[in-house]
Amino acid sequence: MLEQRKPIPVAEAVQRVMSKEITSKTEHIHIEDALGRTLAEDLTATHPVPPFDRSPYDGFAVRSADTVHASRENPLDLRVTETIGAGAVQSVPVLENEAARIMTGAMMPAECDAVVMLELTSEPEPGVMRIKRSFNKGDNISFKGEDAQEGTVLVEKGSVINPGTVALLATFGYETVRVASKPVVGVLATGSELLEVNEPLEPGKIRNSNALMAAAQIKRAGAEVKMLGKLTDDLEACYQSVKEALNEVDILITTGGVSVGDFDFLPEVYSRLGAEVLFNKVAMRPGSVTTVAHLNGQFLFGLSGNPSACYVGFELFTRPVIQRMLGNEKPHLPVEDAVLGADFTKPNPFTRFVRGTASIKHGRLEASPSGFNKSSAVSSLAATNCLIILPGGTRGFTAGDQVKVALLETAESSGMPW
């Protein structure tokens, strides 16, 4: 008798995966390699920024008290002590009725408390500057610590390093930074019908697109890929390869062979390995046969062979595990409200994750199915940047309906949205 699988709701399936202990490792990397990696330590201001009071303009540093009576009718002449360029410091004190010529970014002379822009001055004679108005204490100064105070946490652990974060790392002298290690995700495709990408088609065969698609998804999710090749539908070979693969990777993805066919051997492989099968049927389309097993702290994602089902299974179940291993407290896809841009009339008892294209139209998010919509579809995946979530039930949906969409190509993440 064929085993009857019991479908569980998507939220419960995700919960079963995420409730396992998911640990992360960290490593030190060079700042030049930091873009896109995830901080494993808080980025703290190790000194004030700016580190000293400095001039924001090319001009003159003055003592404001000297300028109190300066006006158009009563211009004030100050003797210029020296020129201080950025990187230099004053070499002589600025005494009463003196000013120092100073350039943008240069450290303020200790005795001065205001800066006058070059454009507001004239030079009645060499070595003398003239102003026609008064200045207040603090005018035109970039104050020590105005940008960041020492000890402030500027970027929290778990954040993805962007160019701005890199600027801060450099500012505070982090030549190396502690980041989450990228989990290594192995990809093993199963199926006797599979050809290599460079092989010509033959009757009954297709090229192995899932493995490279999954590899791209793994990279998009922030992890490292280990391509483990493809296998024919042979139980012994599948068992041996999966077993060996587990020694080489943090997470293992297989594609195909998880349904109930005569050559779907993954269920038997999990059983032989003694792995705990968290679920083998999810109330969703596509990807209902997605199976997740767990063995000695390692996840085995048995993604469907059907390309669209494989794609969706990865984004719902594998991505959050990768994100959690990268230290992300909100590891799930962000889900937003959108307006359905086209009819989708075919009802389904299971929740549908329709591959869609979302864009901002007239100030609101609109999402339409991105093409051919079967679980086996590959052609609609290129235009996919979201999954349109259509709840299961007896009715279809029409253009203009309010729907939820899970966004795939944003750096945003969310807490449990299902």
Ligand X SMILES: Nc1nc2c(c(=O)[nH]1)N[C@H]1C(S)=C(S)[C@@H](COP(=O)(O)OP(=O)(O)OC[C@H]3O[C@@H](n4cnc5c(N)ncnc54)[C@H](O)[C@@H]3O)O[C@H]1N2
Report the interface residues with ligand MOO, using CB under 6 A. 285-289, 304, 306, 309, 375
Q: Which is nearer to ligand X, 90 or 255 (CB)?
A: 255
Does residue 206 interact with ligand X by CB under 6 A? yes
Burial label for 136, CB within 10 Å (0-12, 13-18, 19+), is exposed
Stretch that binds ligand X, among 203-211, 221-229, 339-347, 401-409 (CB under 6 A): 203-211
> d(Cα 231, Cα 255) in Å, to the nearest integer?
10
Does residue 305 interact with ligand X by CB under 6 A? yes
Does residue 351 interact with ligand X by CB under 6 A? no
Does residue 259 interact with Mg ion by CB under 5 A? yes
Stretch that binds ligand X, among 80-88, 123-131, 137-145, 306-314 (CB under 6 A): 306-314
What CA dihedral angle connects 60, 66, 72 and 74, to 10 degrees? -140
Does residue 309 interact with ligand X by CB under 6 A? yes
Q: Which is nearer to Mg ion, 286 or 369 (CB)?
A: 286
The continuous run of DSSP H or E covering 340 comes out as: strand 335-340
Q: How far is CA 65 from the centre of its chain?
A: 52
Contact yes or no for 95/40 (Cβ under 8 A): no
Stretch that binds ligand X, among 46-54, 128-136, 205-213, 327-335 (CB under 6 A): 205-213
Does residue 268 interact with Mg ion by CB under 5 A? no
No. of helices (H) and no. of strands (E), the chain: 7, 23
Contact yes or no for 324/25 (Cβ under 8 A): no
Long-range contacts of 224-230 (CB under 8 A, 24+ apart): 224/182, 224/183, 224/184, 224/185, 225/184, 225/185, 225/187, 226/184, 226/185, 226/186, 226/187, 227/186, 227/187, 228/186, 228/187, 228/188, 229/188, 229/189, 230/188, 230/189, 230/190, 230/191, 230/194, 230/196
**Please, what is the minimum distance in Å from the beta carbon of residue 331 to ligand X?**
25
What CA dihedral angle connects 216, 222, 227 and 231, to 10 degrees? -70
Contact yes or no for 35/162 (Cβ under 8 A): yes
Q: What is the Cβ-side half-sphere exposure of residue 381, based on CA atoms within 13 angstroms?
A: 21
Q: Which is nearer to Mg ion, 255 or 318 (CB)?
A: 255
Q: Where are the beta strands (DSSP E) in 137-223?
A: 153-155, 176-180, 184-190, 194-195, 206-207
Binding mask 162-201 for ligand X (x = CB under 6 A): ---------------------------x-x-xx-------
Q: Which is nearer to Mg ion, 264 or 336 (CB)?
A: 264
Q: Which is nearer to ligand X, 109 or 305 (CB)?
A: 305
* Interaction residues for ligand X, span 365-394 (CB under 6 A): 375-376
Torsion angles phi and psi, residue 253, rounded to 5: -110, 130
Three-class secondary structure of residue 36 per DSSP: coil
Does residue 269 interact with ligand X by CB under 6 A? no
- Out of 17, 49, 115, 258, the only residue in the binding site for ligand X (CB under 6 A) is 258
- Out of 90, 121, 208, 241, the only residue in the binding site for ligand X (CB under 6 A) is 208
What single string gives the DSSP state of each residue in 401-414?
-EEEEEESSSS--B
Stretch that binds ligand X, among 8-16, 241-249, 301-309, 362-370 (CB under 6 A): 301-309
Q: Which is nearer to Mg ion, 250 or 264 (CB)?
A: 264
Contact yes or no for 270/264 (Cβ under 8 A): no
Does residue 289 interact with ligand X by CB under 6 A? yes
Q: Contacts with ligand X: how many residues (CB under 6 A)?
A: 27
Does residue 261 interact with Mg ion by CB under 5 A? yes
Does residue 216 interact with ligand X by CB under 6 A? no
Residue in the structure block whose two tokens are 């669209």? 308
**Please, what is the minimum distance in Å from the beta carbon of residue 404 to ligand MOO?**
19
> d(Cα 149, Cα 170) in Å, to the nearest integer?
16
Does residue 264 interact with Mg ion by CB under 5 A? yes
- Out of 53, 264, 315, 366, the only residue in the binding site for ligand X (CB under 6 A) is 264
Closest by CA to 310, choosing from 217, 222, 392, 383, is 217
What CA dihedral angle connects 197, 199, 205 and 206, to 10 degrees? 20
Stretch that binds Mg ion, among 83-91, 217-225, 264-272, 397-405 (CB under 5 A): 264-272
- Out of 165, 181, 241, 288, the only residue in the binding site for ligand X (CB under 6 A) is 288
Stretch that binds ligand X, among 62-70, 173-181, 206-214, 241-249 (CB under 6 A): 206-214
**Please, what is the minimum distance in Å from the beta carbon of residue 25 to ligand MOO?**
33
Residues engaged in binding Mg ion (CB under 5 A):
259, 261, 264
Residues engaged in binding ligand X (CB under 6 A):
189, 191, 193-194, 206, 208-211, 255-261, 264, 286, 288-289, 304-307, 309, 375-376
